[in-house]
Amino acid sequence: MKKIVIERKGSLKGEVTIPGDKSISHRAVIIGSLAKGKTRIKGLSKGEDNLRTINAFKLMGIKIKKTDNGELTVHGRGLHGLTEPENVINAGNSGTTMRLLTGLLSGQEFFSVINGDRYLRKRPMKRVISPLSKMGANIWGREDGKFAPLCINGTRLNPIEYESPIASAQVKSAILFAGLYVDGVTKVSEPWLSRDHTERMLKRFGATLERKGNSVSLCGGSELEPRDIEIPGDISSAAFFIVAALIVPDSEVLLRNVGANPSRNGVLEILRKMGGDIQILNEDEAGGEPVIDILVKSSCLKGVTIGGALIPKTIDEFPILSVAASVAKGETVIKDALELRVKETDRIKAMASELRKFGVDVEEFDDGMIISGNNHLEGCECQSFGDHRVAMSLIVAGLRASGRTVVKDTSCIDTSFPGFKDKLFSIVH
């Protein structure tokens, strides 16, 4: 089992270019495969999760090639150009691959099976199967569709108006991808707006789509047109460097070309509220998404309350935000975050148990936790539970802790950020 050893050294100084956004990379491959013609993708994430999506479409007859300059060319075959896979589609650890493809595969004219690793097979799938079933989809899974593997017998679908009980981009996107295959308008509403990369990209590729407040409507049946896509840096990956620079004394780090989608930038809002010295520079746009440079300097943080509409804007950043809270002055309250219980692992339970090993006082409750900041973290041996974001968060905590910290089971980091350790340690002086 791979482990990483961290010993507190000096400050963090330097400039970092963040790898391409994982969420946008998934969608670029999916939508590019459904468009008629060549889609060129620059800056695609090299994480294992995105490779799972690429391999899935190769299995369904899509030609995808890497060019000499590192770009990816997807030879899309149109909405009805996919072919029945001869083998099981393996989503690995990628919930995005499984849930989004479940929606897409529901409207095909063939049979398919999608499975994942032992962690993904524990994650809830009923949340996408329920609305898709209302559209007429034929999907079977373990425990009445609650868990993967999933068997999908593609069929003609019907439009629906669905009010999602949770704000989830994966649920919304699964329904929208199914909605491409119906005659009429499919509408999805959420209690709060989740990340909107799918809507932005579908519209860019020519889909007839309209958003009002927390609702989005898609008119199905129209073919998509290929587009060149430039993937901005992943703000969820940038968050580890931002927090590391904030909590390690005398640090100053510049992060280049980071995605700043308003439905994803809650981490910046929260860290600034905590007193973080974070400057936004060089605002621009790439591939229909806003991008920025971020200058971060070490800061004395204070506890805050995080809940409500901020949760879906920050759902992937809570492990690293809990590390920031662990050294902040006073209490940080995280609430309304029940979704954290069903991520790659139970992230509330995982971060509470591991932060206690650093000497942090954490009170855990159903939909969140209270973290009492402790200026002094004590090095320890801790466990990632096979969750890439937990692993990277604990490595960052180790940079602030005294003595030696060992993070076990770190091979999972490659699902989203291959080379994370080397990139982080390259700016530690």
CB 79 within 8 A of CB 35: no
CB 244 within 8 A of CB 256: no
Residue 218: what residue type?
L
Of 230, 198, 206, 221, which Cα lies nearest the Cα of 23?
198
* Count of C-beta atoms within a 10 Å radius of residue 161: 12
| Annotated catalytic residue 422 | no
* Count of C-beta atoms within a 10 Å radius of residue 183: 11
DSSP-derived letter for residue 171 is: H
From its phi and psi, is residue 281 left (phi > 0), alpha (psi between -120 and 50) or beta?
beta
CB 253 within 8 A of CB 16: yes
Catalytic-role residue among 316, 346, 387, 414? 316
| CA-angle at 176, arms to 268 and 209, nearest 5° | 80
CB 58 within 8 A of CB 87: no
Distance CA 397, CA 320 (A): 9
* Count of C-beta atoms within a 10 Å radius of residue 109: 12
Distance CA 285, CA 305 (A): 31
Measured in whole angstroms, the distance separating CA 395 from the mean position of its chain's CA atoms is 19
| CA-angle at 44, arms to 41 and 45, nearest 5° | 170
Alpha-carbon distances, residue 54 vs 46, 367, 388, 424 (angstroms):
11, 34, 20, 27
Residue 263: what residue type?
S
Lateral strand order in the sheet of 368-372: 305-306, 331-334, 368-372, 361-365
Which residues have a Cβ under 8 Å from the Cβ of 189 and sit 6 or more positions away?
Answer: 161, 162, 163, 164, 214, 215
| CA-angle at 202, arms to 199 and 203, nearest 5° | 85
Owner of token pair 């990369």: 197
As a whole number of Å, the end-to-end CA separation of the chain is 28
Distance CA 100, CA 212 (A): 22
Residues with active-site annotation: 316
